[in-house]
Structure 1
Amino acid sequence: MAVYTEVSLAQAQALSTRLKLGNVGSLAPIGSGIENTNYFLSTDAGEWVLTLFERLSASQLPFYLQLMQHLARHGLPVPEPVAGDDGALCHELAGKPAAVVNRLPGTAVEAPDVHHVEQVGATLARMHLAVADFAPQQPNLRGLAWWQATAPAVRPHLEADAGALLDDEMVYQTHLAQSPSYLQLPHGAVHADLFRDNALFDGLPGRERLCGVFDFYFAGVDSFAFDLSVTINDWCIDDDSGHLDETRADALIAGYRAEREPTGAEWRMLPAMRRAAALRFWLSRLSDWHAPRDASLLTPKDPRHFERVLRDCVANPWHPGA
């Protein structure tokens, strides 16, 4: 992903030696994404992803790394962090907290069809079931409190109609979060960022199998309906218009229901949660666009996409099976 911190081969070798991963053969920066510094790391012991955390502190990281470990050990196709001799999953490199995870096979799919999204839905549901016995707690750090702090910072950059949309949605979501219906939603540790570029498929065209879900560094305890909505809002959206592709959305929901049946409250709240999910990513892209950080290979994403998605969620609330 974006490269904020340069890592030398010597530094990578020192970490590899500490983790008993052998000699480093290559170290290649990963240019996509915007949050952390990432490298592909090749050693005698295999292929890995090295991440240096630019915003998260060492005290926050155990939640994310333990969640990945928990899901991997429950048979989910997620990377498992490499532990040191002391059992710690978080390490230090170049003055930053760091982690090493196994590199998963496969490639991302830019134009998913029903074959892909059904598998994504099923895997998401399995993740929601698997966290029933995951004890660590940490709130979604990009939840309502972050929206309330970020909205005033980006508001001056918006044209009148976009500013009015943001103002109205912030009022709506603030009231929604206090409602009995919202409080009834099942919660647990969720990925909260399961976009197309965070999933890997492998196999012949038209017969690909989902073989990896990664980048858990926006995870937190939130509603499963919000996590489902985040996923729908990327995998099932027409990229040009922001409109929902109901064929793909129905397939994703079918895959999800094959593993976990949502509660009545989750069904009722899904249109509102899709609005929440669109707002969350509109705000983060606005923040990255108007207040970018210095980084090699960094390309902020256009926030207008999620403005279009939010407008469509408001104008055309979608109820599965309706």
Structure 2
Amino acid sequence: MAVFTEVSNTQLDELLSHYDIGQARSLKGIASGIENSNFYLDTDKGKYVLTIFERLNKDQLPYYLELTSHLGKKCLAVSYPIPRKDGGLLSEINGKPCSIAPCLSGTYVEKPSAKACREMGEMLAKMHNAVEDFPLSQENTKGSAFWLSSMPLLKPYIPDRLYQMLEEEVTRQLELQKSPEYQALPAGAVHADLFRNNALINKNGDDESLAGVIDFYFACNAPFLYDLAVTLNDWTIDLETGEFEPERAQAMLEGYNSVRPLTEEDHKLWQDILSAAALRFWVSRLYDYYMPRPASLLTPHDPAHFERILKLRRESAPEDLPWI
């Protein structure tokens, strides 16, 4: 859990005076996330989530807040910012930008069922369809520029064999991004970080149903196929080995395809895009592991997890990768 910014009762009361969501009853840190400070906020009018942005400043935030507001207006189950009394989506607390969102139902599930994976695929496709008329644009803050800037910083810390693998994959992905085939992929605003801990699932006995999607603060404009690869690489794998579990992977792909059909052009680049999605998280985890920030409670994720996944995606026979 990352709690970078503490909040006093006085600060909280002042913040809530700008909203019509009642008086605070309790505020409790949320045990997930490494980028922002997140809190469960209970008031006498309902349950909410307070997010304090630790890296993003108020000039960077409109894209993320407007995107979730846009998706919410399309009746998609996402965590969207509640407007202030003056109509704004962004506030400030303890000198940092913040927002408040409704608290969605559901909980984190470590290994979602095939049914939940299918529903996640459907939801992802609906999100991609919904942004066709979203006008804002944002570069991927963990994309190629981040890879290139991180490499010289990481070189002193990682073994030569891993640095060589990193250098080779970054070079390969940069060449891919220049290709006409890559540039022709349908693209738009995507979540880009839709891991299991950024979705909430309702459980009723053995039955699981997707309740909603949260934490869009790595959202960017990128190929929709990349967003699907990021999600598949986390939701549908054996967590020990990184191998895909066929039933759950197939369910997610079929769910996506039922709403937004995948194409042969997508298939041709599928292995490369799965590798790109793994590379993104390998680099960011290496960076956070060797150059951590101070926080009240923060344990960096193990970079070796996505090192394994990247090796698997690079080395798999294309016909062994899940597809529709």
With 310-319 and 297-306 compared, the bigger mean Cα shift is at 310-319
The equivalent residue for 1:64 is 64
Q: 2-side partners of 1:9 and 1:209: how far apart?
A: 36
Secondary structure of the 1:261 match is coil
2:290 paired with 1:290: yes
2:258 paired with 1:254: no
Equivalent pair of 1:267/1:319 in contact (CA under 8 Å):
no
Secondary structure of the 2:228 match is helix
> Runs (4+) of structure 1 moved beyond 3 Å?
317-322
Q: 2-side partners of 1:238 and 1:207: how far apart?
A: 20
Q: TM-score normalised to the size of structure 1?
A: 0.97
With 30-39 and 296-305 compared, the bigger mean Cα shift is at 30-39
Q: 2-side partners of 1:270 and 1:192: how far apart?
A: 16
2:179 paired with 1:159: no
With 60-69 and 261-270 compared, the bigger mean Cα shift is at 261-270
Query: Which amino acid in 2 is paired with 1:293?
Result: R
The equivalent residue for 1:95 is 95
Secondary structure of the 1:55 match is coil
Equivalent pair of 1:194/1:231 in contact (CA under 8 Å):
yes
Q: 1-side partners of 2:277 and 2:289: how far apart?
A: 18
Query: Which amino acid in 1 is paired with 2:184?
Result: Q
Equivalent pair of 2:38/2:52 in contact (CA under 8 Å):
yes
Alpha carbons of structure 1 residues 321 and 273: separation in structure 2 relative to 1, 3 Å: closer
Q: 1-side partners of 2:205 and 2:124: how far apart?
A: 22
Secondary structure of the 2:301 match is coil
Query: Which amino acid in 2 is paired with 1:244?
Result: F
TM-superposed CA distance for 1:216, in Å, is 0.3
Percent of paired sites with the same residue: 45
Secondary structure of the 1:99 match is strand
Equivalent pair of 2:109/2:201 in contact (CA under 8 Å):
yes
The equivalent residue for 2:267 is 267
2:61 paired with 1:24: no
The equivalent residue for 1:175 is 175
The equivalent residue for 2:125 is 125
Please list every run of 5 or more consecutive structure 2 residues that lacks an aligned counterpart in the other structure: none
With 24-33 and 95-104 compared, the bigger mean Cα shift is at 24-33
Deviations 1:247-292 (CA, angstroms, capped at 9, x unpaired): 2211110000111012332221111011000000001100110011
Deviations 1:88-134 (CA, angstroms, capped at 9, x unpaired): 10111100011101110010110122112111101000000000111
Deviations 1:116-170 (CA, angstroms, capped at 9, x unpaired): 2111101000000000111111112111111111122112211122122111101
Q: 2-side partners of 1:11 and 1:302: how far apart?
A: 35
Equivalent pair of 1:47/1:102 in contact (CA under 8 Å):
yes
TM-superposed CA distance for 1:16, in Å, is 1.0
Equivalent pair of 2:37/2:52 in contact (CA under 8 Å):
yes
Q: 2-side partners of 1:285 and 1:22: how far apart?
A: 39
Deviations 1:36-86 (CA, angstroms, capped at 9, x unpaired): 111111112211111111111101111101111111111111012111233
Equivalences for residues 1-322 of structure 1 within 5 A: 1-316=1-316, 317=318, 318-321=320-323
Q: 2-side partners of 1:182 and 1:129: how far apart?
A: 19
Q: 1-side partners of 2:167 and 2:287: how far apart?
A: 16
Equivalent pair of 1:109/1:196 in contact (CA under 8 Å):
yes
Q: 1-side partners of 2:155 and 2:273: how far apart?
A: 22
Q: TM-score normalised to the size of structure 2?
A: 0.96
TM-superposed CA distance for 1:187, in Å, is 0.7
With 273-282 and 43-52 compared, the bigger mean Cα shift is at 43-52
The number of equivalent residue pairs is 322
Q: 2-side partners of 1:197 and 1:95: how far apart?
A: 28
Please list every run of 5 or more consecutive structure 1 residues that lacks an aligned counterpart in the other structure: none
Q: 2-side partners of 1:321 and 1:24: how far apart?
A: 48
Query: Which amino acid in 2 is paired with 1:177?
Result: Q
TM-superposed CA distance for 1:87, in Å, is 1.7
Q: 2-side partners of 1:151 and 1:13: how far apart?
A: 44
Q: 1-side partners of 2:171 and 2:21: how far apart?
A: 51
Deviations 1:213-239 (CA, angstroms, capped at 9, x unpaired): 000000011110110000011011111
With 295-304 and 241-250 compared, the bigger mean Cα shift is at 241-250
